[in-house]
Structure 1
Amino acid sequence: MKYLVFVALTLVCFSFRLKNWSEKPRKQIYLLMGQSNMAGRGVITDEYKELQHTRVLMLNANNEWVAAKHPIHFDKPKVAGVGPGLAFGAALADAFPKDSIYLVPCAVGGTSIAKWEPGAFDKSTNTHPYDDALLRIKEAMKLGKINGAIWLQGESDSNPKSAAVYLEKLTALIERVRKETNNPNLPFVVGELGQYRDNYKLINEVLHQVPQKIKLTNYVTSEGLTHKGDTTHFDSPSATTYGVRFAKEMLMLIKK
């Protein structure tokens, strides 16, 4: 189990490696956006503390590029844990053996999609989720172009009123991010909420529509994934598996 991430990634790498896609080493930059399940709340045991990849880096709280390790996010330091980001980055690094993968953590736990609009303030974390993410995106763009974004959010919107406008708000968010990154074709992958709670079906039904409604997007299933005992947050193995699934769908978009 010590090298769970890297063993799990092997199937993805052999299936989705893009031959001759890059002749020279490149820096690929990806945005990690959403709320607590993207930030990661899985328990960081000794085996997860040790997990790293030599070509995966992350932008830390001080806007420094450092070796990526759990926790990737720092939205709520006391509870930040294992999320899908590291496994996502490692899978992409293995799929592109000459490239380095740079992760930009932007997720903020407990935030509804309404908090991901310009100027919106999240009182519980004393942050402006979208505005703060934009600052980090601009910092990352000093390194190069943004190659893609992954999104895992919706627990805070799992009610009829919010679900009714969720697709509209998500579409607007994706359009804003694509505009800010100067990339109208930025690949964007959205993740399904855990299937272990009935009320999450409201948002999952909306997320299922995203690839048909928004160009250059893919959808990731959470089928078979489990929570850590709180019926809300993915446990560490599930978060790791989810990261691999995100990478698989991102690679599908990159190949188009």
Structure 2
Amino acid sequence: MKKHFVSISLSIIIAFFGLILFSCSSKKKSISAENAISNKGLEIYILMGQSNMAGRGPLIPEDSIIKNKNVLMFTKDLKWVAAKNPLHFDKPGVTAVGPGLSFGLAMQEAHKSAIIGLVPTAVGGTAINSWTVGGYDKATKKYPWDDAEKRIIEAMKYGTIKGVLWHQGESDSKAENAAVYLPKLEDLIKRVRKLVGNDKLPFVVGQLGRYNPSYDNINKETAKLPALVPFTAIATSEGLTDKGDNTHFDRSSAIIFGQRFAKQMIELQKVN
């Protein structure tokens, strides 16, 4: 009887301390994003390019729901908030679903202890020449590279830049522009890596949609990148579809594309 009583008492004590530990763990988890911001603990990814990175896939009601509080986005006002579509703000009222959020969710799923920070910098309609130092885009009256540089510098105060996603080239898809595209992209990669102080920073380039034949001019050029620049990879656009305008990925394709970006990023990080 006494032994049985001792056994029950031990079980109660163990359960009690287990409850305390669980409570502490839950509390820690609930404020982990806030702690990561305060302690420079974010794992940060830069989203760069033009409209298909910014996102033009149609929004639906569920986009207002926060899917993972450990995936954050850097707002236009340089604040970290829980991420949801649209991430970008280049063209208010037009910007919608792109690959960025599904990428962030996939990265957090792969690294469950990480707090992911997404930094939107894409500007719809921009040619790669707009992404040079001082480059200006007349249509949006923006300086894509200069603006991105400022946002990256500010974002680095809160963590470590872990990689870059690039999707751009529709505006450069004419044969004569595509022929001189690759050196410009290489230069941009060098600038980003120098800016963040990491010459091995993973850089994933997304193929342009295969639904537009002229986009193959750029895809043929970017396919050469991994052999020329270390720690770069290509996210395939195979099977992805447009939203009916022969230019922009539809909602489901944008989401799948983000997951493909994540797969390539994870592979680059394994060898980095």
TM-score (norm 1): 0.89
How far is the alpha carbon of 1:50 from its aligned partner?
2.2
CA distance in 2, matches of 1:49, 1:83: 15
Match of 2:269 in 1: 254
Residues 52-96 of structure 1: CA distance to partner in whole angstroms, max 9, x if unpaired? 212100100100001110000000012000000000000000101
CA distance in 1, matches of 2:204, 2:236: 11
CA distance in 2, matches of 1:214, 1:160: 23
Secondary structure at the residue paired with 1:124? coil
CA distance in 2, matches of 1:250, 1:226: 22
Match of 1:223 in 2: 238
CA distance in 1, matches of 2:160, 2:98: 24
CA distance in 1, matches of 2:78, 2:238: 35
The reply to whether residue 68 of structure 1 matches residue 83 of structure 2 is yes
The reply to whether residue 186 of structure 1 matches residue 181 of structure 2 is no
The equivalent position to 1:123 in structure 2, one of 138, 160, 176, is 138
When Rg is computed on C-alpha atoms for both structures, the one with the higher figure is: 2
Match of 1:232 in 2: 247
Match of 1:31 in 2: 46
Match of 2:70 in 1: 55
**Sequence identity, in percent?**
53
CA distance in 1, matches of 2:66, 2:252: 13
Match of 2:106 in 1: 91
Match of 1:107 in 2: 122
Residues 96-142 of structure 1: CA distance to partner in whole angstroms, max 9, x if unpaired? 11110000000000000000000011111111000000000000011
The reply to whether residue 132 of structure 1 matches residue 147 of structure 2 is yes
CA distance in 2, matches of 1:244, 1:178: 23
How far is the alpha carbon of 1:51 from its aligned partner?
4.9
Which structure 2 residue ranges, 5 or more long, are not aligned?
1-35
After TM superposition, the structure 1 stretch with the greater mean CA deviation from structure 2, 147-156 or 51-60, is 51-60
- Contact 2:66 2:82 (8 Å CA) reproduced: no
Which structure 1 residue ranges, 5 or more long, are not aligned?
1-24
| Greater fraction of residues in helix | 2
Secondary structure at the residue paired with 1:189? strand
Match of 2:92 in 1: 77
The equivalent position to 1:213 in structure 2, one of 222, 225, 228, is 228
CA distance in 2, matches of 1:127, 1:205: 29
CA distance in 2, matches of 1:52, 1:85: 13
Secondary structure at the residue paired with 1:194? coil
TM-score (norm 2): 0.84
- Across the aligned residues of Structure 1 and Structure 2, the Cα RMSD in angstroms comes to 0.9
The equivalent position to 1:161 in structure 2, one of 163, 166, 176, is 176
- Contact 2:48 2:165 (8 Å CA) reproduced: yes
CA distance in 1, matches of 2:237, 2:134: 31
CA distance in 1, matches of 2:173, 2:63: 30
Match of 1:43 in 2: 58
